[in-house]
């Protein structure tokens, strides 16, 4: 190729590239979500596509929802799919696999799609539509054009006779019940709750509004509840020292189990029943602290593999013990920092994790890193694998690992640094500065940089099945493990552990325990 033709080629290439970019930008996607007969457990979706410039277009439904690391096969709920051109004439399409619809010959034209979604499963990672409300998991409702996950989208919600919509999506000014997302990742990060919802009076932390909206909240002391929740948010923010969103919404989807974290909201099963006892209130505050703390830990402070999301295959990582396990650790710590619980209750939380680990033979077969990686196959809590008794849950060993790391760092630095410093450094270094996740090695390096020593011994508890050395690690902070053997009603032998203070503490143990237990002023 001569120089002249190279220049011509480059010129033509640049024309081509700029036209491709312009076309990408002009692709316009508008979704309308309607609920013509909610009592039938269906919702309806219309998609208007403008300025499509390709030929065959593939529309895909994600197979899972970030935050719930299981393939959910949402496309199974799609019924009555159709595609039409500008004149309303049907366009041929083919369902080429479980979750992909190919629409042929759509070149340079506007067209529309429509389909129904059967929504009859009451669970935080599934959509439910009934006569009283609708909770829509957006990964299971809105298909995306393959290759265009970065396209902005708008969603109009036809809420019918219901009064309110709760979602983390950005409302469009001057267009009631219309929302926008800069890309599909944000759309998929914002479930939508519709119904005659109740909103509790919001509170501010550092000048930022925090809302609580829900369906069928029930009767409880709502003033006390919001005061406690504000303390939880304040204590969580104090760990990292920054609030990265403009508004945050707690979205209570009705009685049921489970919660899923998002960037500026969380959706969770909720009932006001039981909140009149201190245990019930404590349990709820732990639960909400966990979901809330996730907006830092996993949504922003995240493993390298958890972004960009692969909505077909899922994203395996060794580090869910950090994302989930340390969020359990911080749920305990934050509720204590918030002044909502006492030392005994804090330690009891860890007792339950120790008892779960030590009574599970799986601890000798599977490491924390393996449990993290394998959760896609083994079920959400690591207990439903094909080989029962050979797997563990990072929800149990993860928080103990958090405790070990925290105490090790405090011990190594004469109580000048803690795991909080690690979380802060990950937030500023990887989320804010590098805008990516961290690898396994980078997580360990971040811990070692704060501790000022090698932590390879401690990390053996992550990558091997070495038995946990409670004596040494709890001992750093003047704590110890008491062991009792019990026999259950079924005749099964169990061991029961309780974490307690030692009788006498040296000055470093005393200062570590005091600062670890310290409440925020």
Rounded (10°) CA dihedral 289, 307, 48, 55? -170
Contact between 47 and 72 under an 8 Å Cβ cutoff? The reply is no
Pairing between strand 208-214 and 247-252? parallel
Contact between 410 and 516 under an 8 Å Cβ cutoff? The reply is yes
Nearer to Zn ion, 69 or 470 (CB): 69
Take residue 291 and report the two structure tokens written for it: 């979901």
CB of 400 to Zn ion, least distance (A): 16
Short-list 417, 477, 479, 470, CA closest to 447 = 417
Residue 98 main-chain phi, psi, to 5 deg: -45, -45
Nearer to Zn ion, 218 or 269 (CB): 269
Q: How far is CA 239 from CA 27, 92, 243, 338, 520, in A?
A: 42, 55, 11, 11, 10
| Residues from 11 through 70 that contact Zn ion (CB under 5 A) | none
Nearer to Zn ion, 291 or 448 (CB): 291
The DSSP H or E segment spanning 402 is: helix 394-412
| Residues from 457 through 486 that contact Zn ion (CB under 5 A) | none
CB of 259 to Zn ion, least distance (A): 7
Short-list 306, 328, 309, 308, CA closest to 319 = 306
CB of 353 to Zn ion, least distance (A): 14
CB of 199 to Zn ion, least distance (A): 25
CB of 233 to Zn ion, least distance (A): 17
CB of 290 to Zn ion, least distance (A): 6
Side-chain-side CA neighbours of 171 within 13 Å: the count stands at: 11
Contact between 428 and 419 under an 8 Å Cβ cutoff? The reply is no
| Residues from 344 through 403 that contact Zn ion (CB under 5 A) | none
| Residues from 288 through 327 that contact Zn ion (CB under 5 A) | 324, 327
CB of 215 to Zn ion, least distance (A): 22
| Residue linked to tokens 């039938």 | 40
Give the number of residues in contact with Zn ion, rule: CB under 5 A.
Answer: 2
Nearer to Zn ion, 275 or 298 (CB): 298
Nearer to Zn ion, 218 or 380 (CB): 380
Residues near 159 by beta carbon (within 8 Å), at least 6 away in sequence: 35, 165, 177, 194
CB of 356 to Zn ion, least distance (A): 16
Nearer to Zn ion, 324 or 351 (CB): 324
CB of 280 to Zn ion, least distance (A): 20
| Residues from 169 through 228 that contact Zn ion (CB under 5 A) | none
Nearer to Zn ion, 323 or 341 (CB): 323
Distance CA 424, CA 421 (A): 5
Contact between 168 and 181 under an 8 Å Cβ cutoff? The reply is no
CB of 7 to Zn ion, least distance (A): 56
Distance CA 281, CA 267 (A): 18
Site string for Zn ion, 102-121 (x = CB under 5 A): --------------------
Short-list 486, 497, 502, 500, CA closest to 357 = 497
308 cis-preceded (ω within 30 degrees of 0): yes
Contact between 474 and 499 under an 8 Å Cβ cutoff? The reply is yes
Nearer to Zn ion, 54 or 380 (CB): 380
Nearer to Zn ion, 322 or 462 (CB): 322
Q: How far is CA 453 from CA 193, 410, 461, in A?
A: 48, 12, 17
Nearer to Zn ion, 305 or 324 (CB): 324
| Residues from 320 through 349 that contact Zn ion (CB under 5 A) | 324, 327
Strand residue runs (E) in 365-478: none
Binding residues vs Zn ion (CB under 5 A): 324, 327
């Amino acid at each position: 190729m001569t120089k002249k033709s190279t220049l011509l080629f480059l010129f033509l290439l640049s024309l081509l590239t700029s036209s491709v970019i312009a076309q990408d930008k002009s692709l316009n996607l508008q979704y309308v979500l309607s609920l013509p007969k909610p009592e039938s457990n269906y919702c309806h979706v219309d998609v208007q596509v403008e300025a499509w410039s390709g030929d065959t277009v593939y529309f895909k439904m994600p197979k899972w929802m970030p935050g719930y690391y299981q393939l959910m096969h949402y496309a199974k709920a799609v019924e009555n799919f159709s595609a039409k051109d500008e004149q309303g004439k049907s366009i041929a399409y083919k369902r080429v696999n479980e979750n992909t619809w190919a629409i042929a010959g759509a070149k340079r034209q506007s067209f529309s799609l429509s389909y129904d979604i059967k929504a009859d499963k009451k669970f935080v990672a599934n959509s439910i539509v009934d006569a009283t409300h609708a909770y829509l998991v957006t990964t299971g409702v809105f298909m995306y054009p393959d290759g265009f996950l970065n396209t902005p989208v708008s969603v109009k919600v036809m809420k019918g006779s219901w009064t309110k919509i709760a979602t983390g999506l950005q409302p469009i000014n001057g267009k009631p019940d219309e929302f926008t997302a800069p890309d599909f990742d944000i759309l998929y990060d914002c479930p939508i709750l519709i119904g005659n919802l109740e909103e509790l009076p919001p509170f501010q932390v550092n000048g930022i509004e925090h809302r609580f909206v829900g369906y069928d909240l029930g009767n409880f002391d709502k003033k006390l509840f919001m005061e406690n929740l504000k303390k939880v948010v304040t204590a969580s923010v104090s760990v990292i020292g920054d609030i990265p969103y403009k508004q945050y919404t707690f979205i209570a989807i009705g009685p049921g189990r489970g919660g899923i974290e998002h960037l500026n909201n969380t959706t969770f099963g909720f009932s006001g029943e039981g909140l009149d006892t201190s245990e019930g209130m404590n349990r709820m505050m732990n639960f909400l602290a966990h979901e809330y703390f996730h907006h830092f830990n996993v949504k922003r402070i995240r493993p390298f593999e958890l972004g960009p999301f692969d909505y077909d295959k899922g994203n395996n990582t060794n580090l869910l013990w950090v994302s989930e396990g340390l969020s359990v650790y911080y749920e305990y710590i934050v509720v204590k920092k918030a002044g909502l619980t006492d030392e005994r209750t804090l330690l009891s939380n860890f007792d339950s994790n120790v008892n779960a680990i030590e009574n599970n033979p799986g601890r000798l077969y599977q490491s924390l890193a393996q449990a993290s990686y394998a959760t896609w196959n083994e079920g959400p809590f690591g207990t439903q694998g094909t080989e029962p008794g050979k797997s563990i849950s990072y929800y149990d060993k993860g928080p103990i690992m958090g405790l070990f790391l925290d105490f090790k760092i405090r011990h190594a630095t004469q109580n000048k640094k803690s795991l909080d410093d690690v979380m802060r450094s990950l937030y500023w270094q990887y989320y804010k500065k590098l805008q990516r996740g961290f690898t396994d090695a980078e997580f360990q390096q971040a811990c070692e940089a704060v501790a000022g020593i090698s932590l390879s011994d401690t990390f053996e508890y992550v990558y091997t099945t070495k038995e946990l050395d409670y004596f040494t690690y709890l001992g750093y902070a003047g704590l110890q493990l008491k062991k009792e053997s019990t026999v259950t009603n079924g005749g099964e032998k169990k061991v029961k552990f309780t974490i307690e203070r030692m009788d006498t503490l040296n000055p470093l143990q005393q200062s570590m325990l005091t600062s670890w237990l310290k409440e925020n002023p």
